[in-house]
Structures are given as structure tokens and as C-alpha cells.
Amino acid sequence: MANTILVGAQWGDEGKGKIIDVLTERADIVVRYAGGNNAGHTVWVGKQKYVLHLIPSGILRKSKLCVIGNGVVVDPVGLVSEINGLLKIGVKIGKNLVVSETAHVVLPYHRELDAQREVLKGKNKIGTTKRGIGPAYGDKAARVGLRMGDLVDAARFEEKLSRRIKENNEVLQALGAKPLSFKKVLAEYRAAGDFLKPFVANTVVLLHNAMRRGEDILFEGAQGTFLDIDHGTYPYVTSSNTTAGGACTGSGVPPHRMDRVVGVMKAYTTRVGEGPLPTENAEISDLLHGMGREFGATTGRARRCGWFDSVATRHATMVNGIDDLAVTNLDGLDTVETIKVCIAYRHGKKRYDFVPNDAEVLAECQPVYAEFEGWLTPTDKARRWKQLPPKARTYLKAIAELTGAKLAIASVGPGRDQTIFV
Ligand code: GDP
Ligand code: IMO
Ligand code: MG
């Protein structure tokens, strides 16, 4: 399969988990390269549903190696509970999971600060997942973070934690929040550190050794292009590089070793949290929520829904270098009579065919729509391209062409077999 980067081409929750699970069949190693347990990647295997937060979605395929790369921020207590949760339902986890010793650790003061900052922002809040992601990446950039290598070294961890907790408790108290107990945090994190020690290694060397043996790597993106700290709708973004470049920095595999970029996008658009969403539409939101769909995999919040936005996905093709597209949730549009697709934005007299960098301008943009006739036929039983209704094929071809990449996969349901290779 060669080395493949998979990214979300919209605002997250595009169905990356499902597509990773499908593509893992042809890879040797799956690497998560960014984000933390703010992610929620859903995979269905038969009647069993799995929601992965930190562990790569490749873990459900036996004999594949899963790596949590240096670009990820790891909540160790969360990771232990994720591992135990999977073990309990029969997923094998042992030597098939490796965590980078240079991945940064999310600590309780990161979560507290995340929550406090959201309160302070009031109506301008980001709507974070409150997993401490922003403050953890902030500490990494400020060079005061603790890494997994520190966590598994008892003496070093205790020393570093005592200094960091002191400073953060002062900040928390100034914000009116309760200070954290050093003893309690130490005990909880030491237990997690001992549990995780066998999983922690130098993943850069490991990945390069694997490449020398000719093994193929699949890089699992988290979040989506428009949640990227540089290329997203700042400040309504997450705190990492979710886009394809993040796969290199977040794993230590250099750009010239990357062979292909797959962009995953829904046949419509969703976003969870605050920030601009030009094609947001109550009719399609109600329809999808009424079907019991589009509730967050991590926080359970109802996702905001809208029509497919090709200005956004075209922009995503540009910044990620997307070669191939996987379009998911086509079946979500099965009952829609007239389907709209945004082909440009209007802002006053100006017309945009790219996403403006200013989130306030983007929030004021009016979508210019093209209309497509709905196919009004269930698609969830289709297994081959020819089994899709002609109007659904027309729609898929049109959104891929507008996005500017090759349509490679169409997904018509959450199951493994509900996947059409085009
Ligand atoms: P991720 O974060 O990108 O992995 O996406 P999430 O798992 O958060 O959200 C995607 C949701 O869509 C999950 O509930 C998936 O099971 C579901 N899903 C993925 N592809 C399809 C599809 O083609 N049809 C339907 N009906 N559901 C899908
Ligand atoms: P997956 O990998 C959708 C959103 C949050 C919020 C913003 C910042 O499942 O696609 P954060 O907690 O990261 O500081 O929140 O980013 N967000 C996601 N939205 N899917 C995700 O992950 C997300 N991870 C973060 O809702 O708007
Ligand atoms: Mg998700």
C-alpha cells in the first residue's frame, strides 16, 4: 500500500476511524500523529461498536502494529482506561501497541485550565472537549511539558511534577479554581506510568527500522483540516497540526517517504463546538439528528450539520495534498429530495473560491449553492459502484471533481462491508 497519510478534510468526525480500519488490512503499521483523547474514532466490527480516543483504529486488526507518535498528547490515565476497556471486550493489546517516549503528557492542571479558560471566554468560548489539549500543547511549545519518558521514570517524574504543580496551582487559584493535591496526582500518574512503561519506546527508530524492512505505514489523522492550529478557523480550532504535514513532525517520518494522502469527508458537513460553518442548515441537522446520527463520539454533543462545502474541501486538498478521497455517510442523504452543494462564498460584493483566513469574515460568508437531484433510494446495501443509484453516482463524481481529487472510496454505512472501492 506504500506509506499513506489519512486526514479529515472537514471539521473532524468525517469517518476517519471506519476508513482507517478498512485500509489497515493492507498496512503493517498504523500511527496516530496528532491530537489527544479529544478524538473519538468509531469503528464497527459486525455488531460490536468500538470508540477509539488515543489508540489507533488499526488495533482491531490482528497482527498490525499500532503506534502513538511523538506528536500526540497522551492522557496516561485515559490511555490506561482505554486499554483496559478494550481488553475487557476481547481486543488483544500487548506488543502490538507502542507509545512514543517523547509524546507529551496531559496532566490534571491542563484539564482544569482548559475548563477555566472556556468559562473566562464566555460567549466567545471555543467549545473544547475539556480534555486539556490546548494547555498541554501550550506547555509543549513553552518547553515546560512532561513527556512519556518522564512519566515512566519515577524519580524524574516526581521532581518535575512537583515544580509544575506548584506553578499551575498558583494560576488556578488566581482564576478562583481549587488547587490540585500533589500527592493525589502523583499517586494516580505513578500507577498509570507503571502500567504504561512496557509500551513506551523510541518510536522514530522503530518506524525507520520498519521502513527499512519494507513495511507499509498508515498515518491516522485526528480532528480535521479546519481544526488545524495553522490552517483551521482560528481561534476555533484544536491545538495541533491535524493536516498532512503533521504526520511528518508527529512521527519522525520525513516528507519524501510519504507516498499518498487520503482525504476523508462526509457527503455533507458537520462540526461540533463553536466557530464558523458556512453551510450550516437546520433542515439537514434535524433530518440527521432525527435518524439518531451525528452525536459526538467523545462528548455526546449534537453535531452541527450542513450541506457539503466544496470550497472547504477544495482548500483541504490544497493544504494536505490530497490524492484520493473517501466519501462517507452517503446514505445520510438517501431521503433528501434536493441536495445542495456550496460552490463559492459571497461576502458583500466579494466572491471567494477559497476559505478566508479571518474566522469573522468566514462567519459572515453566504454560500453559493449548486443543486443536485436526490436519488431517494436506500444506498446502504450497495457494495459495488454500479449498485449505487445513478443520481448518487453523479453526486459523488461532482463533489470529488469540485474537491479536486480522485474518488477512491464511497461509504454507505458504518460497517466494514459497507465500503465501495471506486
Ligand atoms: P472520526 O472521528 O472521523 O473517526 O468519525 P466519528 O467516528 O467521530 O464519526 C463518524 C460516524 O459516522 C461514526 O458514528 C461512524 O460509525 C459513522 N460512519 C462512518 N461512515 C459511515 C457511513 O458511510 N454511513 C453511516 N451511516 N455511518 C458512517
Ligand atoms: P475526531 O478525531 C470533532 C473540536 C472541539 C472544539 C475544538 C477544540 O474525532 O475527528 P479541543 O478539545 O481539541 O481543544 O477542542 O475542536 N474537536 C473535534 N471536533 N472531532 C474531533 O476529533 C475533535 N477534536 C476536537 O469540539 O470545537
Ligand atoms: Mg470523531
Compute, in angstroms, the gap from residue 127 CA to the centroid of ligand 2: 9
Q: Which CATH superfamily is domain 265-421 in?
A: Adenylosuccinate Synthetase, subunit A, domain 3 (3.90.170.10)
pLDDT at residue 297, rounded to an integer? 86
Compute, in angstroms, the gap from residue 119 CA to the centroid of ligand 3: 24
Report whether residue 40 contacts ligand 2, using a CB cutoff of 6 Å.
Answer: yes
Query: Which class is domain 4-102+199-261?
Result: alpha beta
Instruction: Write out the residue limits of the CATH 3.90.170.10 domain(s) in the chain.
Output: 265-421
Say how far residue 336 (Cα) sits from the centre of its chain.
28
Q: Positive or negative, the Cα torsion across 80, 163, 70, 108?
A: positive
Instruction: Write out the residue limits of the CATH 3.40.440.10 domain(s) in the chain.
Output: 4-102+199-261
For residue 41, indicate whether it is catalytic. yes
Over residues 353-378, the pLDDT tens digits come to 999 999 999 999 999 999 999 999 99
Q: Say if residue 298's pLDDT is above 90.
A: no
Overall average pLDDT of the 116-120 stretch? 95
Compute, in angstroms, the gap from residue 18 CA to the centroid of ligand 1: 6
Instruction: Write out the residue limits of the CATH 1.10.300.10 domain(s) in the chain.
Output: 104-196
Helix (H) or strand (E) holding 313: helix 310-320
pLDDT at residue 279, rounded to an integer? 98
Q: Kindly write down the DSSP assignment for every residue of 235-275, as one continuous string.
A: TSS-SS--STHHHHHTT---GGG--EEEEEEESSEEE-SSS
Please state the φ and ψ torsions of residue 388, each to the nearest 5 degrees. -80, 145
Q: Say if residue 267's pLDDT is above 90.
A: yes
State which ligand 2 atom lies nearest to the alpha carbon of 297. 9
For residue 334, indicate whether it is catalytic. no
Report whether residue 41 contacts ligand 2, using a CB cutoff of 6 Å.
Answer: yes
Report whether residue 149 contacts ligand 2, using a CB cutoff of 6 Å.
Answer: no
Query: Which class is domain 104-196?
Result: mainly alpha
Q: Which of 129, 131, 280 to mutate to test the pocket of ligand 2 (most atoms within 8 A of CB)?
A: 129
pLDDT at residue 1, rounded to an integer? 63
Compute, in angstroms, the gap from residue 14 CA to the centroid of ligand 1: 6
Q: Say if residue 75's pLDDT is above 90.
A: yes
Q: Which of 21, 265, 270, 329 to mutate to test the pocket of ligand 1 (most atoms within 8 A of CB)?
A: 329
Q: Rounded to two decimals, what is the model's pTM?
A: 0.98
Report whether residue 410 contacts ligand 2, using a CB cutoff of 6 Å.
Answer: no
Report whether residue 221 contacts ligand 2, using a CB cutoff of 6 Å.
Answer: no
Among the listed residues 387, 394, 390, the one whose alpha carbon sits nearest the alpha carbon of residue 421? 387
End-to-end CA distance of the chain, in Å?
16
